[in-house]
Amino acid sequence: MSYKLIIIDKSHVALIYFRNKLISITMEHNLYKINDIYLGKVSKILPSLDAAFINLNNESKNGFISFDQLKDKNHGNIRLDKNILVQITREPIGSKGPNVSPEIKLIGKYLILLPFSKFIYTSKKNYPDNTKNKEYSKALGYLLINPKHLGLFIKSESLEANIDFLIKEIKILKSRWTEIITKSCNTFTPSLLSRKKKFINKIFEEYSNIRFEFISTDSYEAAVRVKKILCKIGSLDIKTNLTIEFHKTSLDLIRYYLIDVVITEIMKPRVSLPKGGYIVIEKTEALTSVDVNSGSFTSLDTPQQTSLWVNYSAVSEIIKQIKLRNIGGIIIIDFIDSSNQRDQMKLLRYMNKLIKKDYRKCTIIQMSELGLVEITRTRYGQSVYDAFSRKCNVCNGLGYLSTNLNKVKNVFYELNLNIIPPFYVEDRIAKIYNN
């Protein structure tokens, strides 16, 4: 089986395997999801930061909004306790709440409705060297909406879409916006006005280009939903060799495929490279650092050849781990010292080639005077650290245990031997202490 999909719908986690190798993990926050629309209330204004906190849910963290986003929008001056319509742009990370924006976007398959805009935008992919595509997209936009009232962004895929489908889609988006406005006038704040598609729908929307041969879910209802989605989008027919299985509970699915062990292994800092080298990935609140080490690799004749070979093998593994762990923000890579400028340029060109295959925007900023490579990657959704880890209640997030805590040290040693995942640790410790 080439592509295999495992969906834990209850936990909003999905794993994709290719030839029995894990290539992607998709996660979603249980409460705050990207593109959800809320009617919030300004709970705190921070003039020194030109920002404010927006109350989205009385039992959870507030959203964060910058004053720069409020300029030229139909919201006027922001003030305390003011109701404001916002959309989630980034899920919570660590102790931080979600980022929100007043610039509402209703996203369809080919079109994005912009209720607070009065312009028609087209994707640059539509017309890199083709003026006709640009003119067609603009004309299409004026046919679908009146820019005096609403704005529209036309995706590059719309050039191949059926015009009747586009007319139907814009009607659905307009109707959805009308429902949001009506609901905002008849509800109390804070309140969720519009939720994005369900997690299973999101999976098949993001990976529409993949033909899965095996899908496993954590319930019968989820398996039925998967079948309906595949039939609706035309991915399931008589010729398709597809198996859909379900397990009675999420725990059964996790145990059967050892998903807790897989995730524990992924979160380990050290990743081995071929023939003895290794990399160490450390996530902090400000950035992610990656250290490249030659380890026991000494097969080549000169130090220059050794460092270049290890650095090259490390690049492909680093890019793979960044995508697999969904690391975003600032990434600093410390390669093995290479004073040869020609080797450095080869390494950067090779890295740039691999980065272009990433589905998120990833940019190499520079190589510093210390030989550190600086990268930025667009944050989207949660990383494995945000989804599956929490601060240690023993070391308070330091990451190390004191040597005088013998009892706790022995407990963790036993946990490590049995490869107990992070989300079982507290229960296991409680049982050991009770005994």
Task: Convert 424-433 to b/e letters by CB count within 10 Å (16 or more is b).
Answer: ebeeebeeee
pLDDT at 409 over 60: no
Least confident of 120-129, 317-326, 370-379, 419-428: 419-428
| Range with top average pLDDT, 71-85, 170-184, 222-236, 274-288 | 170-184
Average of pLDDT values for 94-116?
A: 88
Would you say residue 369 has pLDDT above 60? Answer: yes
What pLDDT is stored for residue 402 in this prediction?
A: 57
Is the CB of residue 279 less than 8 Å from the CB of residue 291? yes
Which range among 143-152, 236-245, 307-316, 367-376 shows the weakest confidence by mean pLDDT?
Answer: 236-245
183, pLDDT greater than 50: yes
**pLDDT confidence band for 32 (50 / 70 / 90):** confident
Is residue 166 left, alpha or beta, with left meaning phi > 0 and alpha meaning psi from -120 to 50? alpha
Whether the pLDDT of residue 376 is over 90: the answer is yes
Q: Is the pLDDT of residue 314 over 80?
A: yes
Higher pLDDT, 406 or 306: 306
Amino acid found at 417: L
Mean per-residue pLDDT for 113-118? 90
Across 272-276, 301-305, 331-335, least confident range: 301-305
Q: What number of other Cβ atoms are within 10 A of residue 274's Cβ?
A: 10
How would residue 410 be classed by pLDDT, with cut points 50, 70 and 90? Answer: very low
Contacts for 212 with CB less than 8 Å, ≥ 6 apart: 3, 4, 5, 242
Question: Which residue type does 203 have?
Answer: I
Reply yes or no on whether the pLDDT at 27 is more than 50.
yes
| pLDDT score for 129 | 53
Q: Can you point out the beta strands (E) in 200-247?
A: 214-217, 243-246
Q: 86: how many CB neighbours lie within 10 A of its CB?
A: 25
CA 8, 9, 12: angle at the middle one, nearest 5? 85
**pLDDT by residue (tens digit) across 41-50?**
999 988 888 8
Residue whose entry in the numeric block shows the structure tokens 């897989």: 262
Q: Do 170 and 113 contact (CB within 8 A), yes or no?
A: yes
Q: pTM here? A: 0.75
Instruction: Assign 235 a pLDDT band (cuts: 50, 70, 90).
Output: low
The pLDDT score that the predictor gives to residue 368 is 83
Spatial distance between the Cα atoms of 430 and 414, rounded to a whole number of angstroms? 14
270: pLDDT strictly greater than 60 = yes
Residue 378: pLDDT over 60: yes
Indicate whether 430 pLDDT > 60: no
| Alpha-carbon gap, residue 154 to 107, rounded angstroms | 10
10 Å CB burial of residue 213 (0-12, 13-18, 19+) is middle
Mean per-residue pLDDT for 328-337?
90
pLDDT at 333: 94
Among residues 171, 145, 161, 144, which one has the least CA distance to residue 109? 161
Most confident listed range (122-126, 210-214, 382-386): 210-214
* Cβ-contact 218, 10 below 8 angstroms: yes
- CA dist 335 and 280 (Å) reads 11
Q: What is the pLDDT of residue 300?
A: 65
Give the pLDDT score at 17: 93
More confident residue, 188 or 425: 188
Q: What's the sign of the alpha-carbon dihedral 170, 106, 175, 82? A: negative
Mean confidence (pLDDT) of the chain = 81
If pLDDT is split at 50, 70 and 90, which confidence band does 77 have?
low
Instruction: List, for residues 124-167, the tens digit of each pLDDT value.
Output: 765 555 667 777 788 888 888 887 788 999 888 887 888 888 89
pLDDT of amino acid 433: 34
Record the tokens describing residue 309, joined without a space. Answer: 């070979």
Counts of helices then strands in the chain (DSSP H, E): 11, 21
* Closest residue by Cα to residue 103 from 74, 138, 125: 74
Average pLDDT (395-415) is 52
Q: Please tell me the number of Cα atoms within 13 Å of 64 on its side-chain side.
A: 13
pLDDT at 404 over 60: no
Half-sphere exposure of 225 (CA within 13 A, CB side): 17
Task: Quickly list DSSP for 252-321.
Answer: HHHHHTTHHHHHHHHT-SEEE-GGG-EEEEEE-SS-EEEEEE-TT---SSSHHHHHHHHHHHHHHHHHHH
- pLDDT for 276: 80
* Burial class of residue 398, CB neighbours in 10 A (0-12, 13-18, 19+): exposed
**If you write DSSP's letter for every residue of 378-390 in order, what string do you get?**
---S--HHHHH--
Report the pLDDT value the prediction gives residue 408, as an integer from 0 to 100. Answer: 39
Say if residue 296's pLDDT is above 60: yes
pLDDT value of residue 187: 86
